[in-house]
Amino acid sequence: MTDQTDQPVSPASETPAGGVSRRGLFRAAGVGAAVVGGGSLLEACSSSIKGASGTSTSTAGTTKEITIGWIHPLTGSLAGFGYPDNWVIEQIKQTAPYKNGFKIGGSTYKVNILSYDTQSSVTRAGTLAKQAIQSDNVDLLFASSTPETVNAVSSEAETLGTPLVCANIPWESWYINLGGNPQKPTLKPKYVVMYFLGAEHLVECFIPMWNRIGATYGNDHIVAAAFPNDSDGNAFRAVFPPIAKAAGYTIDLSAAYTDGLTNYTSMITQFKNAKADFFTNVPLPPDFATMWKQSLQQDFRPKLATVAKVLLFPTDAYAMGSEVYNIATDSWWVPSLPWTSSFTGQTCQELANLFTADGLGQPNANISNYTLFEIAYAAMQLVNDPHNHEEVATAIHNVVIPIAVAGPMDFTSSKNPAPGVVITPPVGIQWQKGTKYPLEAVVVDNTLQPNAKITGDLNPTFA
């Protein structure tokens, strides 16, 4: 029964002719990754009852083991973030450290990976963190993809004393949740670290694009901004206006709205009255679909829309079709970056090509989640006892990897914006009508990340 799950499978093709696939059954039960390698069917069944799937990634016959848990959204409204994650696990299992085991203190440890699907639920994310820590006895946790996933897991890990590596969450949202002040970043989380970007990097990514469109099509230097009353929205509301003002822009803020709002008429009217040339926001993906559709219906058509948190991934863009032509966003990882795997030497482009060759479509920026596993391995090389949470927590804060798939990782650098934070600067991308795909992500600005290649011209959303 393992052959069906041994291959990377697109979510769109999980049911073979004649019935529901084993992977499909697991996903229905909240299971993320397939049980392969050293995992038995018995292990799969017992794990699926609780919502976690197990993957053994080293050779049989090793007596000592390390367990790593990954809490991430594989289904639900945030599934675009988790779309490449099972594929990433498949790649990691083929690398020498994870295939052969970690060598620590003269012993070799088999590595077990447990994947937990949050189903895009904040409550479930926290519950799964408790399960992973208290029932499944993980030695190290990962959490990825938005505050709705990561913050709940971070709080549990810090409270329950379990080392955790996070990705894909603006650092301010993460840091505030742990009790830190981004303006005075003196708090050092004991058990938790992260890599990604910050709200400030997003506005700094958008400003050059506003400037370029404004130079050609006119610029009133007014940016309409719709930020929700949630972790991301509150961080962006604090960070965007002063940075934009310093660049000569006024942010016309709507009132903070509740996630899940279905009528955006009042804010659209406000933006039209302001005659804003530009638009920015940081909503949940379903909210943006509603908001943008109503904006078009009510004839709010900015010269350039620059959005965060939405349209980051191909599947989300495809779902909105031509309505999102020439909307710009950010990307923290693109295939042209000159980074390589610290395990295999594979380049970003080679990984992207393999992702496409495996039937998963154009590359997804969260291929960069590969680096969660690079950090885990690097940290375990710094400890004597991988089961000692205090020792592993200290180790993750001391990881230095000169080059990794997501870029250089140095948690000891004095240039980091806060303790436990490594920044991966974004590029500006724009969703343009494609030739191979319905919409294609084109790199249109590399101001913050000049290592990325420009692959197309920046177009106005509406001229």
For 88-128, the DSSP string reads HHHHHHTSHHHHH-EEETTEEEEEEEEEEE-TT-HHHHHHH
| Alpha carbons 354 and 91: distance in angstroms, whole number | 10
Is 249:274 a contact under the CB 8 Å cutoff?
Answer: no
Average pLDDT over residues 351-372: 97
Strands 427-433 and 439-445: antiparallel
This prediction has a pTM of 0.87
Is 306:276 a contact under the CB 8 Å cutoff?
Answer: no
Percentage, residues of the chain above pLDDT 70: 87
Handedness of CA 1, 15, 350, 202 (dihedral sign): negative
At residue 57, the pLDDT reads 62
pLDDT digits (tens, 9 = 90+) for 165-213: 999 999 999 999 999 999 999 999 999 999 999 999 999 999 999 999 9
At residue 189, the pLDDT reads 98
Task: Flag whether pLDDT at 350 surpasses 50.
Answer: yes
Q: What is the CATH code of the structural domain delimited by 11-197+335-423?
A: 3.40.50.2300
At residue 80, the pLDDT reads 93
Residue 20's pLDDT band (boundaries 50, 70, 90)?
very low
Average pLDDT over residues 291-307: 97
Helices (H), 298-388: 314-320, 348-355, 370-380
| Alpha carbons 169 and 199: distance in angstroms, whole number | 10
Report the length, in residues, of the chain.
463
- Side-chain-side CA neighbours of 251 within 13 Å: the count stands at 24
Based on its alpha-carbon atoms, the radius of gyration of the chain, rounded to whole angstroms, reads 22
- Do 200-331+427-445 and 11-197+335-423 have the same topology in CATH? yes
At residue 53, the pLDDT reads 72
Residue 56's pLDDT band (boundaries 50, 70, 90)?
low
Strands 192-196 and 164-167: parallel
| Alpha carbons 33 and 355: distance in angstroms, whole number | 16
pLDDT digits (tens, 9 = 90+) for 389-445: 999 999 999 999 999 999 999 999 999 999 999 999 999 999 999 999 999 999 999
Taking CA atoms, 395 is separated from 124, 167, 188, 192, 391, in Å, by 28, 17, 14, 11, 6
pLDDT digits (tens, 9 = 90+) for 265-292: 999 999 999 999 999 999 999 999 999 9
Structure tokens at 69: 């848990």
Strands 140-144 and 64-72: parallel
| Alpha carbons 306 and 326: distance in angstroms, whole number | 9
| Alpha carbons 405 and 142: distance in angstroms, whole number | 16
Nearest-CA neighbor of 305 among 284, 286, 281?
281
Is 389:416 a contact under the CB 8 Å cutoff?
Answer: no
Task: Flag whether pLDDT at 2 surpasses 60.
Answer: no
Is 109:62 a contact under the CB 8 Å cutoff?
Answer: yes
Nearest-CA neighbor of 119 among 85, 84, 77, 83?
77
The conformational region for residue 321 under phi > 0 = left, psi -120 to 50 = alpha, else beta, is left
CATH architecture of 200-331+427-445: 3-Layer(aba) Sandwich (3.40)
Per-domain residue ranges for the chain? 11-197+335-423, 200-331+427-445
Is 73:119 a contact under the CB 8 Å cutoff?
Answer: yes
Q: What are phi and psi of 389, to 5 degrees?
A: -60, -35
Average pLDDT over residues 254-269: 96
| Alpha carbons 266 and 445: distance in angstroms, whole number | 32
Is 267:257 a contact under the CB 8 Å cutoff?
Answer: yes
